[in-house]
Amino acid sequence: MFTLDAKDFSFAGADLSRPECIVAERDGTLWVSDNRGAITRIIPDGQQQRLGRMGGKPNGMTMAGDGSFLMANIALRRFYRVSRNGEEKVFLDTIEGQPVGAANFVERDPLGRLWLSVSSRLENHLEALESDIPDGYVILLDEKGPRIVADGLLFTNEVRLDAEMGWLYMAETRGGRVSRAPVLDDGSLGPREIFGPEPIFDGALIDGIRFDMDGNLWVTEITRNRLYMIAPNGTAHMVFEDPSSEILDHPSSLTFAGHDLRTVYVGGLGQTRLATFRAPVAGLPPAHWV
């Protein structure tokens, strides 16, 4: 069973601010959400460049087919497109005639569909972290336009499709759990069910989720700075814990990178750099690698 020790980690990047989400390219370039602007670009030799002036709390993002970035901003409560020269444009801020709410994450699948998570509809979305308020939801944006395909979630965070695009997996931060639902032919979702432990431990707040090529779902947990793997059969084991916050500080996401997709970068809400380690198996390639 794979576990990590402190000595297994190294670091990348410097002086980052709230590096919640990471997008990796084949050439080793990393794009990291950064609340001083929108995104910080880290090239393989370590040089950094900051893009955008968005502010707020830029968080979950993905790369679009044209190389731009599709990003949620949970504080500004909108979804943005950010070009590689830092230009920003809102691409979604209302749904069904109402403000979208606390925009959290954007996932793009190999078919070009966007899966957008919204943590809460409350004006103060942090209230949905403090008590069970099931008003999180997921938007599907495809050629038919945006529509809500999942609702009633406990602070929706990252969402991912499995390798076959047969199931959508949804991190419910307040619930400390992962939910999943089958993806139907028209993009709508079937009945939702819990995947893995519920919760992963008492008091857990999970944030990021990501698949590897063996079908394991990697999970970040922010209250005890933990990394987990949930096997395809739903059993979970802890890979690493950092109660001192020396390596991980409120870990919010992880990304597989490198030529073999086995170099993992972990971002965190309290970190100023990315933690990195080598995984035993490659990650599932993101849509922009396919």
Q: How confident is the model over 36-59, as a mean pLDDT?
A: 96
Nearest to 61 by CA among 85, 46, 40: 40
Q: Identify the sign of the CA torsion 78, 116, 256, 87.
A: negative
Mean residue pLDDT of the chain comes to: 97
Can you give the pLDDT at residue 111? 96
Tally of CB atoms within 10 A around 95: 18
Identity of residue 143: E
Q: What is the DSSP string of 141-162?
A: EETTEEEEEEEEESSEEEEEE-
Can you give the pLDDT at residue 290? 76
**96: region left, alpha or beta (phi > 0 left; psi from -120 to 50 alpha):** left
Can you give the pLDDT at residue 58? 97
Token output for 171: 């991190």
Domains and CATH numbers, the chain: 6-289 (2.120.10.30)
Q: Identify the sign of the CA torsion 268, 18, 278, 216.
A: positive
Q: Is the pLDDT of residue 119 over 80?
A: yes
Query: What are the tens digits of pLDDT across the range 167-201?
Result: 999 999 999 999 999 999 999 999 999 999 999 99
Query: What are the tens digits of pLDDT across the range 139-168?
Result: 999 999 999 999 999 999 999 999 999 999
Radius of gyration of the chain (CA): 17
Cα Dmax for the chain: 51
Query: Considering the chain, what percentage of its residues have pLDDT values greater than 70?
Result: 100
Query: Are 186 and 237 a contacting pair, CB within 8 Å?
Result: no
Tally of CB atoms within 10 A around 37: 18
Query: What are the tens digits of pLDDT across the range 224-239?
Result: 999 999 999 999 999 9
